[in-house]
Amino acid sequence: MKEKETITMTKEEIRRLKTITELVDKKINGPRASIELNLSVRQVRRIKSRFLLSGPKGIIHRGRGRSSNRSMNKDKENIIRYLINNKYSYFGPTLASEYLLKHDQISVSKETLRLMMIEEGIWIPKKKRQAYHHEWRQRRDSYGEMQQFDGSYHKWFGEKESCLLLSIDDATGKISHGVFDKNEGIIAVFKFWIRYIEKNGIPKSIYLDKFSTYKINHKNAEDNKDMITQFQRANKEVGIEMIMANSPEAKGRIERGNKTLQDRLVKALKFHRITSIEEANKYLEEQFIPEFNEKFAVVPKNKENAHRAIDDGVDIEDVFSIKNQRVVCNDYTVRFENNYFQLEQIQPTTVYKRDKVIVQTNIDGKISIKKKDILLNSFLLPARPQREIDVQLIAITRKKSDWKPPIDHPWRKFSLNKERICKEKNITKVGHF
């Protein structure tokens, strides 16, 4: 006796069998069957032909029980699982797929890799965030028209925190310049923009936050517009407009860029075993930034470059230096940060006592003194200069005593003569004499 064949069907296939049976029995026509099955008439015709040839078995999808044509080779899958566990365990799926292709010549989609990493316990799926409405600000038209600038403190390499100073062009999304430094102080920022201008030229404007290096945030500065920072003064001299953002969302391009780099760049530095600022800056400029710009930069509306060249005769290092006003003392010394600088006798211009001069500190720490942009001849004194008159005054230093002058003392004689003159002139009050 022949065994009965068991056919397993899904609910969808049972519904399809019923419709095809009605079509074969001519209870409905082809167009009606295509509407019920949500298929084209041509597909319904092929299913009907398989049903007539193989019976109900022809309704079942022919791919059932077969491996997918897109399934991955088992050996390849094992290699990928080994690599993501031992080499890319701290990577995300997207970055891991890029590194597998670049460094191991293994092509795998980020979604396939994401499922593998979830199975291996390396990647935890993120919950969908609630969407917030933000007004979209259009990009500027030209490269160099606006640079979004910020400093990001993070543990970029190792356990010690450092600061990444970064500028992103608003029109193209390119990283126009980036450098690691210890902090976001004025010297580090000046070094950044000197290198930027030497490499790219002078941008039209800079969009940045209200950090104390860039803006005086004291309440009195609202009424006194002359209270500006060294960075504001330098940008004013070179003709760069500074635009202050009132919130992080306002300069979202640089904020998102920093967040992306805190993921990608940190992992890249760890992958290449970079542990110092010098190595990180070299890798950042020579390899990471060009690759990042090639992947994420967009084409601007206007292909013209809005950067300006440095004007003839302008020393950019002189502009981006710390300048403080001081007064020449009576002994022709200038005091600055508890140091004393002696002005020499021969000067390129006339210098008087109490003249106002500018003490300038360059990014390399060199200090010079100028009067109306003319460099004065000076040298650092090893110790505080002595006063011109170092004599104790008797009226101030003498102690009070009980001594009285004798009767024949000149003071006494003067007093007696004074009384005699008063009597002769009939002056009753000695004070009228």
CATH of the domain at 264: 3.30.420.10
**φ and ψ at 203, to 5 degrees?**
-75, 165
Q: What is the pLDDT of residues 382-394, one digit of tens each?
A: 887 776 554 443 4
Asked if residue 269 belongs to a domain, the reply is yes
Q: Percent of the chain beyond pLDDT 90?
A: 40
The conformation of residue 63, written as its DSSP 8-state character, comes to: T
Same-domain pairing of 246 and 376: no
Same-domain pairing of 168 and 298: yes
Same-domain pairing of 270 and 411: no
Same-domain pairing of 186 and 291: yes
**DSSP three-state, residue 166:** strand
Distance from C-alpha of 294 to C-alpha of 287, rounded to nearest angstrom? 11
Same-domain pairing of 156 and 286: yes
Asked if residue 417 belongs to a domain, the reply is yes
Q: Percentages helix, strand, coil for the chain, rounded to the nearest 5? A: 40, 15, 45
Same-domain pairing of 185 and 290: yes
Distance from C-alpha of 171 to C-alpha of 293, rounded to nearest angstrom? 13
Is there a contact between 168 and 257 (Cβ–Cβ < 8 Å)?
Answer: yes
| C-alpha to C-alpha distances, 423 to 408, 411, 413, 432, nearest whole angstrom | 21, 19, 16, 12
Q: What is the pLDDT of residues 34-53, one digit of tens each?
A: 988 888 999 989 988 988 88
Same-domain pairing of 288 and 183: yes
Asked if residue 5 belongs to a domain, the reply is no
Asked if residue 46 belongs to a domain, the reply is yes
Is there a contact between 204 and 242 (Cβ–Cβ < 8 Å)?
Answer: no
Exposed e or buried b per residue across 221-247, where buried means at least 16 C-beta atoms within 10 angstroms of its C-beta: eeeeeeebbbbbebbeebebebeebee
State how many domains the chain has.
Answer: 5
Same-domain pairing of 41 and 185: no
Asked if residue 314 belongs to a domain, the reply is no
| Unique residue bearing structure tokens 């990042």 | 292
Asked if residue 357 belongs to a domain, the reply is yes
Point out the least confidently predicted range of 93-97, 179-183, 228-232, 279-283: 228-232
CA 172 to chain centre: 17
The three-point CA angle 188-193-194 to 5° equals 95
373-379 long-range Cβ contacts below 8 angstroms, 24+ apart = 374/348, 374/349, 375/348, 376/343, 376/347, 376/348, 376/349, 376/351, 377/343, 377/344, 377/346, 377/347, 377/348, 378/334, 378/341, 378/342, 378/343, 378/344, 379/341, 379/342, 379/344
Same-domain pairing of 217 and 172: yes
The conformation of residue 309, written as its DSSP 8-state character, comes to: P
Domain housing 362: 320-380
Mean pLDDT calculated for residue range 261-271: 91
Residues forming a β-bridge with 178: 166
Distance from C-alpha of 418 to C-alpha of 283, rounded to nearest angstrom? 95
Distance from C-alpha of 45 to C-alpha of 23, rounded to nearest angstrom? 10
The string of DSSP letters for 110-164 reads HHHHHHHHHHTTS--PPPPPPP---PPPPPPSEETS-EEEEEEEE--SSSS-EEE
Distance from C-alpha of 174 to C-alpha of 130, rounded to nearest angstrom? 29
For the entire predicted model, the pTM comes to 0.68
Q: Residue 157, Cβ neighbours under 10 Å: how many?
A: 21
Please tell me the predicted confidence (pLDDT) of residue 362: 92
Based on its alpha-carbon atoms, the radius of gyration of the chain, rounded to whole angstroms, reads: 42
Q: Residue 71, Cβ neighbours under 10 Å: how many?
A: 9
Which pLDDT band holds residue 281 (cuts at 50, 70, 90)?
very high
Same-domain pairing of 111 and 209: no
Bigger pLDDT: 6 vs 174 = 174
Residue 432 has pLDDT above 50, yes or no: no
Asked if residue 354 belongs to a domain, the reply is yes
| Unique residue bearing structure tokens 């049972």 | 14
Reference 268, options 255, 251, 280, 286; nearest CA is 280
Residue 424 has pLDDT above 70, yes or no: no
Distance from C-alpha of 252 to C-alpha of 264, rounded to nearest angstrom? 18
Residue 419, by phi and psi: left (phi above 0), alpha (psi -120 to 50) or beta?
A: alpha
Same-domain pairing of 221 and 170: yes
Point out the least confidently predicted range of 16-25, 121-130, 176-185, 367-376: 121-130
Bigger pLDDT: 246 vs 238 = 238
Please tell me the predicted confidence (pLDDT) of residue 134: 59
Q: What is the pLDDT of residues 301-333, one digit of tens each?
A: 998 999 999 888 889 999 999 999 999 998 899
| Unique residue bearing structure tokens 């319904």 | 44
Amino acid identity, position 412: R
Same-domain pairing of 286 and 251: yes
